[in-house]
Amino acid sequence: MRTFFLTLLFFCVQPFWAAEGAEHAQMLKLVESRLAEELAEGDFPSLVVGIVRGDELVFAKALGWADRQAKRPARVNTLYRIGSVTKVFTASLLVKFRDRSLLRLDDPLADFLPGSIPVPTNAKGAAEITLRHLLTHSSGLPPMPVNLKRATPEQPYGATTREELMAGLKQTHLDNPVGAVYAYSNLGFSLLGLVVENVGRAPYAALLEEHLLGPLGMKRTGIDLDAELKKDLATPYAARDTSRVVTDWKLGAAAPAGAIASDLGDMARFISWQFSAETDEKKVLGMASLAEMHRPQRLTGSWRSAIGLGWHVSPSQVGGDVVWHNGGMQGFRSWVGFVASAKVGVIVLSNCGKSVDELGRWLLDEAVIGFGAKEDSLGDSVVLAVAKRLVGKMAAPPGDDLQEMFHPGFLKAVPAEKIKAIFSSLHGSHGACRIRDSRLGKVPRSLKVNLSCEGGKTLRLALQVDGSAEARIVFMKLN
């Protein structure tokens, strides 16, 4: 005899919206609410946020002030320094030159510097610092150049010159043996900029434009902005006192570690490229090379965090690997990330020193749930259709037709009126909900469904239907 069972451990169910537009509207309403809350409670001067799906910027929002004093509102085309997200551009140039057989990632750094410049070593580590060590922050080099003689509190890099970078290596001692541990180094990526210039036989900014920005159509991205673009650059503010204007850093030869400025539209193009790599007939980078950059090269200290080639990689709570990088310059913060398997990415830009990392990661999870390319693993289509209809009933006070979904034997154990009362209470207490994903159960005609809640909670729904044409529910469990 079949078992008819209903268990409710949490009073929080999220409705499924049959129409895709309605589902997205509900999710984006939640996003907009969170952004307004972050702007107010975090005292950000401005936040500019975008969600990318495939080759589309499907959501773009600008809140607050690009310049508080001048009452200049932030817009989606306002420019922000993206800080260390620049490192991903530098890594992309290295990989492109590798693909053109101009270098190898395991070549020693010393091969690209004048012979008179000694590269530090440590007998306990690898014999030489390689380009791969620099790309994965495992060179053992300190975070910053040791000889920033012209640095000031306003300009901590002192507009570092190429000569100073190389001269500083003579005074540098490794913090760790080469290859031993992950230790983030701006100095390492500054040196990669010298490698790019050596191989490309041109200044870094020119190579960036020729090999990446130009082919990708990123016309509002660069390091030394022209007069027109400078007008659109957000005013930078301090982290603790977001009414205080701070200085826009000049990095000089350290620019490959963090100096790029960009806007939401251009960064959306950059994220879309990560999913396709088909930018023109020449291909900036092929899909295999992009996938290599996204793939973990070494752990950063735990099994849940790794570094690829320039990109960081972490597991997602909603499926797939999150490939991401954050950035921080004085007066600017950024977070850029995506889940390649879902073809969904997120950009968060701000003009103060407060971190936007947590916001970016939350937003990406929501975007993947709402916009992600669904794998063909949703289980039996008949049971899934029942689950969608059932969750739809949870979205509003259910009608009399609810009982038609259940087998008479189930309704003997749990009367229809009790089910209606429970569903109404769930919706009233926790608001809108939706199906996130599902998979087949272990018994025939059964399905396990994960629901995502508007209030932040999650719920698991298990269903089994009978073999009739009506596919009536004979088992349901919520926990």
Confidence of residue 429 (pLDDT cuts 50, 70, 90): low
Q: Could you tell me which of 130, 118, 108, 112 has the C-alpha nearest to residue 167?
A: 118
Q: Could you tell me which of 350, 152, 349, 157 has the C-alpha nearest to residue 237?
A: 350
List C-alpha distances in Å: 183 to 84, 119, 137, 297, 312: 15, 17, 5, 14, 13
Is the confidence at residue 228, as pLDDT, over 60?
yes
**Tens-place pLDDT, residues 24-83:** 777 888 899 999 999 999 999 999 999 999 989 999 999 999 999 999 999 999 999 999
Tokens 């270098």 label which residue?
103
Confidence of residue 400 (pLDDT cuts 50, 70, 90): low
Neighbour tally for 36: CB within 10 Å: 14
Backbone angles phi, psi at 199, to 5 degrees: -75, -40
Query: What was the pLDDT predicted at 7?
Result: 36
Burial of 43 (C-beta count, 10 Å sphere; 0-12/13-18/19+): middle
Could you tell me where the DSSP H helices lie in 67-203?
86-99, 131-135, 162-169, 186-200
**C-alpha neighbours within 13 Å on the C-beta side of residue 149:** 8
What's the CATH number of domain 1-42+378-479, 3.40.630, 3.30.70, 3.10.450, 3.40.30? 3.10.450
In whole angstroms, give the CA distance from residue 327 to residue 333: 6
Is the confidence at residue 142, as pLDDT, over 60?
yes
Q: What is the mean pLDDT of residues 122-133?
A: 95
Q: What is the mean pLDDT of residues 291-319?
A: 92
- Are 89 and 269 in contact by the 8 Å Cβ rule? The answer is no
Query: What was the pLDDT predicted at 22?
Result: 54
Q: Could you tell me which of 473, 455, 465 has the C-alpha nearest to residue 15?
A: 455
**C-alpha neighbours within 13 Å on the C-beta side of residue 188:** 29
Q: Using DSSP, state whether 250 is helix, strand or coil.
A: coil
195 token code pair: 């490698």
List C-alpha distances in Å: 81 to 234, 239, 309, 427, 449: 9, 15, 21, 43, 42
Strand order from edge to edge, sheet including 473-478: 433-440, 446-453, 458-465, 473-478
Q: What share of the chain is helix, strand, coil (3-state, %, to 5)?
A: 35, 20, 45
Backbone angles phi, psi at 358, to 5 degrees: -65, -40
122 token code pair: 């440590």
208 token code pair: 């960036």
**C-alpha neighbours within 13 Å on the C-beta side of residue 232:** 16
Q: What angle separates helix 357-371 from helix 20-41, to the nearest 10 degrees? A: 170
For domain 80-353, give the fold.
Answer: Beta-lactamase (3.40.710)
Q: What is the mean pLDDT of residues 6-15?
A: 30
Q: Could you tell me which of 387, 406, 376, 393 has the C-alpha nearest to residue 448?
A: 387
Confidence of residue 191 (pLDDT cuts 50, 70, 90): very high
Question: How far from chain centre, in Å, is Cα 25?
Answer: 21
The CA radius of gyration of the chain, in Å to the nearest whole number, is: 26
Neighbour tally for 397: CB within 10 Å: 12
318 token code pair: 């909603």
Enter the pTM of the model: 0.75
**Tens-place pLDDT, residues 326-353:** 999 999 999 999 999 889 999 999 999 9
Could you tell me where the DSSP H helices lie in 57-130?
86-99
- Are 212 and 274 in contact by the 8 Å Cβ rule? The answer is no
Percent with pLDDT over 90 in the chain? 59
| Same topology between domain 1-42+378-479 and domain 80-353 | no
pLDDT, greater one: 184 or 404: 184
Q: What is the residue extent of each domain of the chain?
A: 1-42+378-479, 80-353
Tokens 């939401």 label which residue?
264
Is the confidence at residue 164, as pLDDT, over 70?
yes
Q: What is the mean pLDDT of the chain?
A: 86
Which segment of 207-211, 263-267, 279-283, 403-407 scores lowest on mean pLDDT? 279-283
Q: How would you label 9-30 residue by residue, b for 16+ Cβ within 10 Å and e otherwise?
A: eeebbbbbbeeeeebbebbbeb
- Are 307 and 321 in contact by the 8 Å Cβ rule? The answer is no
Is the confidence at residue 18, as pLDDT, over 80?
no
